Amino acid sequence: MMSRASFLVTLPLLAILSIGLVPLVTILAWSFWTWDPDTYWIKPDPSLAGYTAILAAGRWTVLLSTLHKAMLAAVLCLVAAYPLAYAIHFLAGRRMKLLLMAAITIPFFTSYLIRAFSWRLVLGRTGPVNTLLVDSDLVAEPLDWLLFSDFAVMVGLVASYMPFAAFPLLLAMRRVEPSFLAAAQDLGAGFWHIVRTILVPLTRSGLFAGFLFVFVMVVGSSTEVQMLGGAGASIVSVMVNDVMRVANFPLAFAISTVVLVVLFSLVLLGNWAFRLSRLFEDAAS
Amino acid sequence: MKREYTTQDRGGAQASNLQRRRLLQLMGAGGLGLMGGLPFAGRATAQEAAIAFWASATLDIGDGWSRLTEATGITPTFTDNGNDMGPVVARLAAGNANDLFDVGGFQGGAERELFRQGQIVPWDLAKIPNFAKLWPWAKDMAHLKADDGAQLGIPSVVNADSIIYRKDKLGVVDSYGVIFDPKLKGRVSMEDAWINTAVFAAMYLKESENQPIKDPGNLSVDELGLVMEFLIKHKTDGQFRTFWNGWEQGVQLVADEEVDAMTGWEPIVYEGQKRGLDVAYAAPVEGYEGWGNNTVMLRGASERGLADAAHALVNWMLDGFYGCALATSRGYIVPSETTAGYATANPAEFDPADISAKADHVASKFAGKVYWQNVRPDNFQLYEEWWQKLRNA
């Protein structure tokens, strides 16, 4: 007979399977179907047309550039979030801690559209950054590459998704006993030595969780690329929208399947290497 | 006193639509019991019907819809369809749109395809007396008719687009050549949508470069290759500052002086002028890109016995008040003599001079060369293929 605990676990598990897994399996199956121009829908004629189309028109380069953008944004978010999380957990007093935590949530105060749009105003030819550069005679003309460029896209992505790196790092740092750091200091270890040999190894799971959150969010994003990128700049979500607009459903499903396989592989690999579950273990255990 | 018409809340419209459907179900069930099994839907009349109107937000007149109810008894529920025909066609073909909605207001070009699929049914012009008052060319638009001449779509709003440009920097512009002028490298933009950008480029190549292009709105495989290679070359040369997407981005490019010229919508010019910029709208020698939102009757309306109500709705939209409300709130025009006529007859409601000026302005654009925007050209999937090549070039 099923125990009470097993029963309680079974219900959410079934919910997750039905909400999460069923649509994903459906997408996988439909990616092998064929588009029917008569019905504007797909029919169960098995075909690899969706997957071969990924290799056409440079679509595979969008997949690669999306992964590259996601990886770079995730690393930059971690670089920015790590000292912030360190300061909040180890240096800040109670009041400052609250203030910094609140500051991290600022990007969530506005919609992602407004956030991206505001960067257009800041980085544009007549925006404050260019105005300051020109007025201070650092440049003769406004810098065009500040906006509608890969640089602008990265600024928008990091500004939007940095909190998703900061919070797992904070969780991970809670598991680091301050006495470890004090002991290392007493034994003569310098700051960077402590960071390299104690802090980073003990917060690996938080680093990977932060990386993963940002990576996944960027792969699914489109606004920052569309608003801040150059002419025709693309990312997977934009490409899927383009494809859906002309009802090429098998291709859209095939692209989604490839992305899902990459993301699942990353999660499994990361869990194996970094033991993500440790993030939620009791600090004392 | 002039009335202001606001856009109806989207969530509210959807909610009221669902309530209406539920109400109809209950009334239908009750009708069966009370009236010996006569189906409710078969007896629906224009006087008692509710119509679910699924259209581009452009067509919404907000509080003004109450005038439809006063005039015909029809209660409309307006739902914004997002103005992107890709998801709209998909939802009609593979989704439940025909179960939920009765009348569509769609960007032009997909009417014949939707009719071929059986998603829409033709209008009976005998039940739309105001159709006769449409401007002559609006009555004769070929892409709104089936092969047998049946009317598939009724033009609800039209306009024609060209180039927004900085007059103080460029002087008077009268050609799309300005968009491809190497002297303006990095200072121009086009829309991030092949349904417009491919048409503008094709118009330029056809009219000013004498390239063998028959219809810029419906390019053959070879023509499409020619046009897109042309755009790809200019993109890789760094000609475009960016491709813009949506009203706010279009306005920002002009207002913040990111570009000196771009293809786009005329209201952006007015927004730039409001901000003190010397911005103008070109009358290009190659012509305008015409666009329209057309009203279609969804198959579901016919199946539910709401065809008469749908006809009454569209006839009212061509009766004058709707055109004046739309012209006042958005500056767009119903291509009918009733628009200016209603304002003249009802000066307390609308400014006749303002409405006439707007109608004359749009009419003057269509008096010259116009190529139509087309959301479903014959090779539409190939357009996407080329658009990806352009993006990735």
* Chain A contact set for B94 (CB, 8 A): 39-41
> Is residue A262 in some structural domain?
yes
pLDDT tier for residue B37 given thresholds of 50, 70 and 90: very low
| Binary contact (A239, B192; C-beta < 8 A) | no
Q: Is pLDDT of B355 > 70?
A: yes
How many CA atoms are closer than 13 Å to the CA of B235, on its beta-carbon side? 24
Q: Is pLDDT of B47 > 60?
A: no
Residue of A nearest to B379 (CA): A246
Please tell me whether residues B244 and B381 are part of one structural domain. yes
Note the maximum CA span of chain B: 78
What per-residue confidence (pLDDT) applies to A199? 94
Q: Is pLDDT of B23 > 80?
A: no
| Binary contact (B256, A125; C-beta < 8 A) | yes
What per-residue confidence (pLDDT) applies to A141? 93
> What CATH number is given to the structural domain containing A181?
1.10.3720.10
Domain that holds residue A267: 56-280
| Binary contact (A247, B189; C-beta < 8 A) | no
Please state the rounded mean pLDDT for residues B12-26: 39
| Binary contact (B388, A57; C-beta < 8 A) | yes
Please tell me whether residues B16 and B121 are part of one structural domain. yes
Note the maximum CA span of chain A: 79
Residue of B nearest to A143 (CA): B258
Q: B93 CB near a chain A CB, below 8 Å?
A: yes
- Non-local (6+) Cβ contacts of B142 within 8 A are none
pLDDT tier for residue B11 given thresholds of 50, 70 and 90: very low
Rounded Cα gap, residues B164 and B179, in angstroms = 10
> Is residue B125 in some structural domain?
yes
Whole-number Cα distances in Å, A101 to A42, A94, A98, A170, A172: 48, 11, 5, 10, 15
Please tell me whether residues B238 and B376 are part of one structural domain. yes
Q: What is the pLDDT of residues B152-171, one digit of tens each?
A: 999 999 999 999 999 999 99
> Is residue B387 in some structural domain?
yes
**A-contacting residues in B 344-373 (Cβ below 8 Å):** none
What per-residue confidence (pLDDT) applies to B192? 94
Relative to beta strand B188-191, strand B240-244 is parallel
Collapsing DSSP to helix, strand or coil, B298 comes out as: strand
What per-residue confidence (pLDDT) applies to B58? 84
Q: A126 CB near a chain B CB, below 8 Å?
A: yes
What per-residue confidence (pLDDT) applies to A245? 87
Apex CA A255: angle with CA A253 and CA A256, to 5°?
60
- Total domains, chain B: 2
* Chain A contact set for B381 (CB, 8 A): 246-248
What per-residue confidence (pLDDT) applies to B277? 92
Residue of A nearest to B119 (CA): A39
Task: Count CB atoms within 10 A of the CB of residue B232.
Answer: 17
3-state helix, strand, coil in chain B (%, to 5): 50, 15, 30
Please tell me whether residues B141 and B232 are part of one structural domain. no
CB B221 within 8 A of CB B168: no
> Is residue B193 in some structural domain?
yes
Length of chain B: 393
> Is residue A207 in some structural domain?
yes
Relative to beta strand B50-55, strand B103-107 is parallel
Q: B392 CB near a chain A CB, below 8 Å?
A: yes
pLDDT tier for residue B19 given thresholds of 50, 70 and 90: very low
Please tell me whether residues B63 and B137 are part of one structural domain. yes
> Is residue B220 in some structural domain?
yes
- Non-local (6+) Cβ contacts of B242 within 8 A are A148, A229, A230, A231, A233, B189, B253, B258
Q: A177 CB near a chain B CB, below 8 Å?
A: no
> What CATH number is given to the structural domain containing B145?
3.40.190.10
* Chain A contact set for B383 (CB, 8 A): 246
Q: A112 CB near a chain B CB, below 8 Å?
A: no
Residue of B nearest to A38 (CA): B117
What per-residue confidence (pLDDT) applies to B48? 67
Closest approach of A37 to chain B, Cα-based (Å) = 9
- Amino acid at the residue B69: T
> Is residue B328 in some structural domain?
no
Closest approach of B385 to chain A, Cα-based (Å) = 6
Q: B192 CB near a chain A CB, below 8 Å?
A: yes
Please tell me whether residues B172 and B196 are part of one structural domain. yes
> Is residue A49 in some structural domain?
no
- Total domains, chain A: 1
What are the per-10-residue average pLDDT scores of chain A (285 residues)? 75 84 91 88 92 94 96 97 94 91 84 90 96 95 95 96 94 90 92 94 92 95 94 94 90 96 89 74 53
Q: Which among B235, B388, B389 has CB closest to A231?
A: B235
> Is residue B59 in some structural domain?
yes
Q: Is pLDDT of B267 > 70?
A: yes
Query: Both tokens of residue A282?
Result: 């009791």
> Is residue A162 in some structural domain?
yes
Collapsing DSSP to helix, strand or coil, B222 comes out as: helix
> Is residue A42 in some structural domain?
no
Q: Which among B241, B256, B381 has CB closest to A121?
A: B256
Please tell me whether residues B220 and B114 are part of one structural domain. no
Please tell me whether residues B29 and B102 are part of one structural domain. yes
Q: B379 CB near a chain A CB, below 8 Å?
A: no
Burial group, residue B382, by CB count within 10 angstroms (0-12, 13-18, 19+): middle
* Chain B contact set for A40 (CB, 8 A): 89-90, 92-94, 117
Closest approach of A144 to chain B, Cα-based (Å) = 9
> Is residue B338 in some structural domain?
no
Closest approach of B378 to chain A, Cα-based (Å) = 11
Q: Is pLDDT of B44 > 90?
A: no
Closest approach of A244 to chain B, Cα-based (Å) = 7
Apex CA A69: angle with CA A50 and CA A116, to 5°?
105
3-state secondary structure chain A: CCCHHHHHHHHHHHHHHHHHHHHHHHHHHHCCCEEECCCCEEECCCCCHHHHHHCCCCHHHHHHHHHHHHHHHHHHHHHHHHHHHHHHHHHCCHHHHHHHHHHHCHHHHCCHHHHHHHHHHHHCCCCHHHHHHHHCCCCCCCCHHHCCCHHHHHHHHHHHHHHHHHHHHHHHHHCCCHHHHHHHHHCCCCHHHHHHHHHHHHCHHHHHHHHHHHHHHHHCCCHHHHHHCCCCCCCHHHHHHHHHHCCCHHHHHHHHHHHHHHHHHHHHHHHHHHCHHHHHCCCCC
Please tell me whether residues B46 and B84 are part of one structural domain. yes
Residue of B nearest to A62 (CA): B392
Please state the rounded mean pLDDT for residues B127-134: 97
Q: Which regions of chain B does DSSP assign to beta strands (E)?
A: 50-55, 75-80, 103-107, 120-121, 154-166, 188-191, 240-244, 261-264, 279-281, 288-298, 370-372
To probe the interface with A, which of B81, B248, B388, B390 has the most A CB atoms within 10 Å?
B388
Query: Both tokens of residue B286?
Result: 């190659």
Please tell me whether residues B30 and B60 are part of one structural domain. yes
Domain that holds residue B235: 161-287+372-392
Q: Is pLDDT of B220 > 70?
A: yes
Please tell me whether residues B47 and B141 are part of one structural domain. yes
What per-residue confidence (pLDDT) applies to B103? 98
pLDDT tier for residue B13 given thresholds of 50, 70 and 90: very low
Q: A125 CB near a chain B CB, below 8 Å?
A: yes
Q: A285 CB near a chain B CB, below 8 Å?
A: no
> Is residue B39 in some structural domain?
yes
pLDDT tier for residue B35 given thresholds of 50, 70 and 90: very low
Better pLDDT: A7 or B320: B320
What per-residue confidence (pLDDT) applies to B232? 97
Nearest to B290 by CA among B366, B224, B368: B366
Nearest to B185 by CA among B278, B259, B249, B244: B259
Query: Both tokens of residue B276?
Result: 């003190």
Whole-number Cα distances in Å, A156 to A117, A119, A122, A132, A240: 9, 7, 11, 20, 21
Please tell me whether residues B252 and B103 are part of one structural domain. no
Q: Is pLDDT of B12 > 60?
A: no
pTM: 0.85
Rounded Cα gap, residues B355 and B332, in angstroms = 10
Q: What is the pLDDT of residues B56-109, one digit of tens each?
A: 988 999 999 999 999 999 999 999 998 888 889 888 988 899 999 999 999 999
Under DSSP, the state recorded for B8 is P
**How big is the A-B interface in CB pairs under 8 Å?**
108
Q: Which among B89, B248, B383 has CB closest to A117?
A: B248
Mean pLDDT score of chain B: 88
